[in-house]
Amino acid sequence: MAPPIVFYFDFISPYACIGSVAIERLAKRLGRDVEWRPILIGVTILKIMGMKPLPQYPLKGPYLKRDMERLSEWFDVPIRPHGLKGINSLLASRAFLHLREAEGGRAKPFAQAIFRRLWIEGKDISQLADVLDVASSLDIDPAGLEAALSTERSKEMLRNVVDAGVEAGVFGVPTFHADGELFWGNDHLWMLEHWLQHHSFKHERNELASDHH
């Protein structure tokens, strides 16, 4: 069986929200599974790369805003800017990893619900109450999840996963790793699909025209 496509995400990114839907559709077309792994862009972009959040840059910020709108329409993912300040994905990411370890199949629906809460419903995900509210909506025991999030183990799991993502070369989201290649951004999904089908980046011009739709 082919290994899964690895999807690196941070809940605070609208591009990762779009990518979370797009990669599952792509994987379904090709008969592949998707393994979700959280990364913290506050670590990769701010601390390691020494950059500001990309939307804060002059000229680039307005472009990225428009690009998010275009990608939202292109992939049919109804992203809505929420206007919330200081969004933090630490607790949601730790909850995702706990669920992945403890309850397996509940982790991905939880992550998808977190994305919907922030980027479609426009509600905060930063606080413990927000995370537990999403858990309750999925019939996940909130008391058990709260207890798990209070442990050093949950913090350690996230640190380890983020460190591993950095070691793998992940610097932004969404990033996809498949069959030995790393692809950053939803605008590279066409290239990812071509790679999974051919394991080559050579192409006929008419083939590329049909693939890049």
Cα–Cα distance list, 151 to 89, 106, 157, 203 (Å): 17, 20, 10, 51
Structure tokens belonging to residue 80: 């809505």
Pairing of strands 5-9, 34-38: parallel
Task: Provide mean pLDDT across the span 102-106.
Answer: 87
Average pLDDT of the residues in 20-30: 98
- In angstroms, rounded to a whole number, what is the distance separating the alpha carbons of residues 114 and 17? 9
Question: What mean pLDDT is reported for the chain?
Answer: 91
Query: Which H or E run contains 38?
Result: strand 34-38
Q: Are 171 and 184 in contact (CB under 8 A)?
A: yes
Asked if CATH classification 3.40.30.10 holds for the domain at 5-211, the reply, yes or no, is yes
Amino acid in position 119: W
Is the C-alpha dihedral spanning 85, 133, 34, 44 positive or negative? Answer: positive
pTM: 0.91
What pLDDT band is residue 1 in, cutting at 50, 70 and 90?
confident
Give the separation between CA 102 and CA 149, rounded to whole angstroms.
12
pLDDT, mean of residues 113-126:
98
pLDDT at 49 over 70: no
Give residue limits of the domains in the chain.
5-211
Place of tokens 């601390």: 47
